[in-house]
A and B are shown apart, each in its own frame.
Chain A
């Protein structure tokens, strides 16, 4: 790798870090489950797998049911970028393929964060994401390993 490419790479990393920092300041998105869920932590890749229809279980083998924020919610885009690095269009194309080939259905959508929290408490298998500001005692924030 030559020096020009090295510089570009560095610059890109710096920019990404800055973006994330800004996003975190504006809207820090966290992965959440029901407060009484036995799951206490999860890896980023497991989260990505569950939300992209590649896995339906937690690491302990229990059933995982992903819940999406509505498309208009910025937390959704931030979340997908964080865990899978995919843009909304890429996420959509991914699901289009799964749906078309009959290999999966996208996560259910909840119209807002309150609805999410409500659904989480109904089923401990549910997993979703929230703006940090929307987190309360009803949910448990899962630190990403």
Chain B
């Protein structure tokens, strides 16, 4: 049930909403977006701080590990390079020293055996690694620690260098064809006593000798150790187990400033020959045309740090995940707790709201109910009084709702009420309040309306809105509404008066033909009070047998014999005395009380007719008047049949009188009912003839047994020609159609005489007798 409720003093009352959707997996936005308590906020902040601290520490550890590794690599490069430089210098000096011994010896004494002698003395470098030889001025090898005597070395660079100068010369690396190893040769010039070139002393050694100090433990697999000539040609270079000789390189790049006496800085750069980035220190030797280079691979030096970094990151990551999991669990549990608390709270609130809602709203239409409306109205009255404002109240009652409810069922009736409520809301403004007081009664509060013209417009709008066809129980139907209007403060200054007066106005609208509206007025009130009293009395009258039947005899105009009697209803009110039908029948007709009353009349009259016979009277016909509502009542035939059966009265002795007006509204249906009644054997009279507009064809279509001329027609029959002529004409028509003609309301002798002359059949009226309770007829 959804209920839209109109303005509560202009404020919208929120309809009851279903409980929030708390089920389903909690999304992140749900977790973070919806209410977070302060404690949870602090908890989240703490977890964040812990995580941030963890990661900052980790990153700092990594950072410092790398920084330390870089410093270490740089320092190690420096230290190793200095050691290497010292080793190279010493090794070359040893070689130079041995060559100088040979040079001086051969300059002193040219004996060819000198070499062997010096060797024996142990002044030569170990022949384990070194080959020492002497060549003459033409390049012929004259003596050697190995069997190479006789070869010529005049074209070798280490020989030619000595022809020019008298300094230690260092050859390029050359490949020894026998051993397939790269060799370096160092040479010194031997002079004649007068300083002319006499030959050279030279010694050869494996180039790899100068990089044999390569330690994997210090230099790794990708470090570098090397000896470069100042000509930029590598004499030897080693990385791991790989030894290379003879490669040319960019000397200036390795040693930017050869003349610098200060210590060189360790530099990190990519080496051109193998594209390895190394911490590098290259130094040119002071006393030899050589430079040494030592490099440590950056990758290898930082390997430990890289591994450490991975380890730290993994640990930090794992720790973070763990912290997040625990935090998430704790958070989730706390959310669950909070949510279940909230849910209980929500349920209580929503229950309270619902209870309140139900207490103040109509369950069917969702409109404010009587007690809520009462509050609203009282508030409205209070405000109107304070601000001296006027406002109007509309009281609505659906016409014919009971019939729809009875014929289509209660479900359809409920549906209709819901639809009506909807239409009322649509037709009215937001600020207007529509309420259902119960049944088919609605009430509308128009807070800002008070001009009669405005109110009429609103009422018409409501009539039109309700009057649109409905689709109910698979059929189209129309329903109308009657509206009564009262205005504050003119028509009442309190809730009860305003409501009552609007109700009275509504009744007036209904009496005025329904589907209508009426404003309250003082006169209506007076009528209404009487009416209300009457209505409740009428119900009581039926229960307490306050109704009585009077009978007025009908006489044969010629013989003056009694032919029958008309039953007339009277109400013997305990306080008011005898009440005549025109005072209460309209109300009985309207309220439907006429049906049980009419049934009582039927039964009582039939009984009376039988009683008369039982009392030994000549059988005579009893006639009863049917009202419009009785005539169309579905139970009429059944009631007649039942009355006849229960009393055993001859149907021919019962005459039912209908006013000619009854046939005007629905001729065919009326005719149908008449045929059915007649089939029972009951006589039918058409009464009040001459007051309506019954056409002759109507009389022709249905064979009435009796035609009763209305008392008003014959009242002035002796004074007015037109009345006389009309009466004669009616009688002539009745005769022509073979109906019994009865004149009612005969009050004077003149009238009686006129009727006698006019061939009327029967007469009734005060002239003959006054209606009286059941009496012995003569």
A residues sitting closer than 8 Å to B (CB atoms) are 68, 71, 92-93, 95-97, 99-102, 105-106, 109
Contact residue among B87, B128, B206, B208 (Cβ-Cβ distance under 8 Å from A109): B128
- Inter-subunit contact A95/B129 (CB<8 Å): yes
In the complex the two chains form, is B213's CB within 8 Å of A101's CB? yes
Check B126 for interface membership: any CB of A closer than 8 A: yes
Whether B91 sits at the interface, judged by CB under 8 Å, is: yes
Is B212 in contact with chain A by the CB < 8 A criterion? yes
Which A-B residue pairs are the 4 nearest by beta carbons? A97-B212, A106-B128, A96-B212, A96-B209
Bitwise, B171-212 to A at CB < 8 A (1) or not (0) is: 000000000000000000000000000000000001011101
Which residues of chain B come closer than 8 Å to A100, judged between CB atoms?
87, 91, 209-210, 212-213
CB within 8 A of B126: which of A93, A97, A99? Answer: A99
Q: Determine whether the beta carbon of B90 is less than 8 Å from that of A93.
A: no
A93-B208, A93-B212 known; A99+B90 contact, CB < 8 A: no
CB pair B213 A92 closer than 8 Å: no
**Most chain-A Cβ atoms within 10 A of its Cβ — which of B87, B128, B129, B209?**
B128
Chain B's interface size range is 10 to 19
Residues of B within 8 A of A102 (CB): 87, 90
Q: Which of B204-231 contact A (CB under 8 A)?
A: 206, 208-210, 212-213
A95 to B208, CA, bound (A): 12
For chain B, residues 146 to 180, give those with C-beta under 8 angstroms from any C-beta of chain A.
Answer: none
* B85 CB → nearest A CB, Å: 13
Known: A68-B128, A71-B128, A95-B128. 12 other contacts (CB 8 A): A92-B129, A96-B208, A97-B213, A99-B126, A100-B209, A100-B212, A101-B87, A102-B87, A105-B126, A106-B128, A106-B129, A109-B127
Residues of B within 8 A of A105 (CB): 126
Please measure, in the bound complex, the distance between the C-alpha atom of A65 and the C-alpha atom of B129, giving whole angstroms.
Answer: 19
Q: In the complex, how many angstroms separate the beta carbon of A69 from the nearest chain B beta carbon?
A: 12
A-B contact pairs, 18 of them (CB 8 A): A71-B128, A92-B128, A92-B129, A92-B206, A95-B128, A96-B129, A96-B209, A96-B212, A97-B212, A97-B213, A99-B126, A99-B209, A100-B87, A100-B209, A100-B213, A101-B212, A101-B213, A105-B126
Most buried by B among A92, A100, A105, A106: A100
Contacts A96-B206, A100-B91; is A106 near B126 (CB within 8 Å)? yes
Q: How far is the CA of A99 from the CA of B684 in the complex (A)?
A: 159
How many Å lie between the Cα of A94 and that of B90 in the bound state? 19
Q: A97 to B206: give the CA distance in the assembly, Å.
A: 12
Q: How far is the CB of B94 from chain A (nearest CB, A)?
A: 9
Q: Could you tell me the distance between the alpha carbons of A106 and B129 in the complex, rounded to whole angstroms? A: 9
Q: Which residues of B lie under 8 Å from residue A106 when comparing CB positions?
A: 126, 128-129
Q: Which residue of B lies closest to A70 (CB)?
A: B127
A106 and B125 CA atoms in complex are apart in Å by 11
Chain A residue at minimum C-beta to C-beta distance from B146 = A71
The smallest C-beta distance from B116 to any residue of chain A, in angstroms, reads 11
Query: Which residues of chain A are near B208, meaning CB under 8 Å?
Result: 93, 96
Bound-complex Cα distance A92 to B181 (A): 13
* B interface residue numbers (CB < 8 A to A): 87, 90-91, 126-129, 206, 208-210, 212-213
CB distance from A123 to the nearest CB of B (A): 16
Of the listed residues B87, B127, B209, B210, the one surrounded by the most CB atoms of chain A closer than 10 A to its CB is: B209
Using Cβ atoms and an 8 Å threshold, which residues of chain B touch A93? 208, 212
**Cα distance A106–B126 when bound, in Å?**
8
Which residue of the partner chain B has the closest CB to A95? B128
Distance between Cα atoms of A96 and B87 in the complex (Å) = 12
Give Cα A95 to B213, complex, Å. Answer: 11
- Chain B CB count within 10 A is highest, among A92, A99, A109, for A99
Which residues of A have CB within 8 Å of B209? 96, 99-100
Whole-angstrom CA separation of A70 from B662 in the bound complex: 161
Name the residue of chain A whose CB is nearest to the CB of B86. Answer: A102
Could you tell me the distance between the alpha carbons of A71 and B146 in the complex, rounded to whole angstroms? Answer: 11
B213 contacts across to A, CB distance below 8 A: 97, 100-101
Once bound together, how far apart are the Cα atoms of A93 and B212, in whole Å? 7
* Chain B residues whose CB sits within 8 angstroms of the CB of A68 once the complex forms: 128
CB distance from B130 to the nearest CB of A (A): 9
Q: How far is the CB of B570 from chain A (nearest CB, A)?
A: 132
Task: Report Cα–Cα, A97/B214, bound state, in Å.
Answer: 8
Smallest CB separation, B21 vs chain A (Å): 65
Q: Given the complex, which residues of A lie within 8 Å of B206, measured CB to CB?
A: 92, 96
Smallest beta-carbon distance B128→chain A, Å: 4
List of A residues within 8 angstroms of B127 by Cβ: 109
A99 adjacent to B129 (CB under 8 Å):
yes
Contacts of B90 in A (CB 8 A): 102
- Report the nearest B residue to A103, measured CB to CB: B213
CA distance A93 to B181 in the complex (A): 12
Q: How far is the CA of A96 from the CA of B211 in the complex (A)?
A: 9
Q: In the docked arrangement, what's the CA distance between A102 and B212, Å? A: 11
Q: A101 to chain B: which residues have CB within 8 Å?
A: 87, 212-213
Please report the C-alpha to C-alpha distance between residue A144 and residue B128 in the assembled complex, in whole angstroms: 26
How far does the Cβ of B750 sit from chain A's closest Cβ, in whole Å?
Answer: 154
**Please, which residues of chain B bring their CB within 8 A of the CB of A99?**
126, 128-129, 209
Contacts of B126 in A (CB 8 A): 99, 105-106
With both chains docked as a complex, state the minimum distance between the C-beta of B180 and any C-beta of chain A, in angstroms: 11
Cα distance A93–B213 in the bound complex, in angstroms:
10
Q: A94 CA to B129 CA in the complex, in Å?
A: 11
Residue of A nearest to B129 (CB): A96
Alpha-carbon distance between A93 and B208 when the two chains are bound, in angstroms: 9
Chain A's nearest CB lies how many Å from the CB of B616?
144
Q: Report the minimum CB–CB distance from B342 to chain A (whole Å).
A: 68
Q: Which residues of B contact A109 (CB under 8 A)?
A: 127-128
A71: chain B residues within 8 A (beta carbon): 128
CB distance from B50 to the nearest CB of A (A): 50
Alpha-carbon distance between A96 and B214 when the two chains are bound, in angstroms: 11
User: Once bound together, how far apart are the Cα atoms of A95 and B90, in whole Å?
Assistant: 16
A105 to B91, CA, bound (A): 13
Residue of A nearest to B125 (CB): A99
User: What is the distance, in angstroms, from B115's C-beta to the closest C-beta of chain A?
Assistant: 15
Residue of B nearest to A96 (CB): B212
For the complex, what is the distance from the CA of A93 to the CA of B129, rounded to whole Å?
9
Minimum CB distance partner of A98 in chain B:
B212
Closest chain B residue, CB of each to CB of A100: B212
CA distance in complex: A41, B87 (Å): 38
Residues of A within 8 A of B87 (CB): 100-102
* CB proximity of B223 to chain A, nearest CB, Å: 16
Q: How far is the CA of A105 from the CA of B122 in the complex (A)?
A: 12
Q: How far is the CB of B340 from chain A (nearest CB, A)?
A: 64
Q: How far is the CA of A109 from the CA of B124 in the complex (A)?
A: 13
Min C-beta distance of A143 to chain B, whole Å: 28
A93 to B87: give the CA distance in the assembly, Å. 16
List the A side residues contacting B210 at CB < 8 Å. 100
Min distance, Cβ B95 to any Cβ of chain A, angstroms:
11
Among residues of A, the one whose C-beta sits closest to the C-beta of B179 is A89
CB distance from A52 to the nearest CB of B (A): 12
